[in-house]
């Protein structure tokens, strides 16, 4: 087998449909859009959930209850092995330091320290939340873990 003999698997590559190239092409005249109607027009698309003027299902169903999702806090998990790998012994680690190292990206309400992995270095860590096992591992290594208010 040589580079110049390589070919894609049979049936894995398809020619794109060339629309509006005359009647003989099979995709001429209406170009596969059928006859008239909203979906035949340019820019004519219907939004998701539209039922042709009938009252949509989402509006027919009763809305009840309370949704706690609006009030949920989203914490970014940071494991102990990540801190072990990125920071030196005796380091003071704040949420800003974790962001700078790329451990916490995007939008979030806080950082939570989790106990995955082993820790041998002595750290002074401050975070918004932490698991009990993470706190005990950090303290067993001689460090401290404080929860920010």
- Structural domains of the chain, ranges and CATH numbers in brackets: 75-147 (3.100.10.10)
pLDDT tens digits along 101-117: 999 999 999 999 999 99
Lowest mean pLDDT of 63-72, 105-114, 131-140, name the range: 63-72
- Residues with Cβ within 8 Å of 90's Cβ and at least 6 positions away in sequence, in order, are 121, 122, 123
Average pLDDT over residues 1-24: 93
- Examine the pLDDT at 86 and tell me if it is beyond 80: yes
The answer to whether 115 touches 134, Cβ cutoff 8 Å, is yes
Do β-strands 110-114 and 124-127 pair in parallel, antiparallel, or remain unpaired? unpaired
- Averaged confidence pLDDT in the chain: 92
pTM (predicted TM-score): 0.58
Given this model, what pLDDT does residue 53 score? 92
| Higher pLDDT, residue 84 or 70 | 84
Contact in structure between 117 and 80 (CB atoms under 8 Å)? yes
- pLDDT of 149 reads 75
Rounded Cα–Cα distance for residues 130 and 26 (Å): 64
């Amino acid at each position: 087998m040589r580079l110049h003999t390589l070919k894609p698997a049979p049936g894995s590559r398809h020619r794109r449909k060339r629309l509006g190239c005359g009647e003989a092409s099979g995709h001429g005249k209406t170009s596969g859009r059928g006859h008239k109607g909203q979906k035949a027009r340019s820019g004519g698309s219907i939004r998701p959930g539209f039922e042709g003027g009938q009252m949509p299902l989402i509006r027919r169903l009763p809305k009840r209850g309370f949704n706690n999702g609006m009030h949920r806090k989203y914490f970014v998990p940071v494991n102990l092995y990540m801190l072990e790998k990125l920071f030196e012994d005796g380091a003071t680690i704040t949420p800003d330091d974790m962001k700078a190292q790329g451990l916490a990206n995007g939008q979030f309400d806080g950082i939570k320290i989790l106990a995955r992995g082993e820790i041998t270095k002595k750290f002074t860590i401050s975070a918004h939340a932490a698991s009990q096992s993470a706190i005990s591992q950090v303290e067993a290594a001689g460090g401290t873990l404080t929860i920010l208010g």
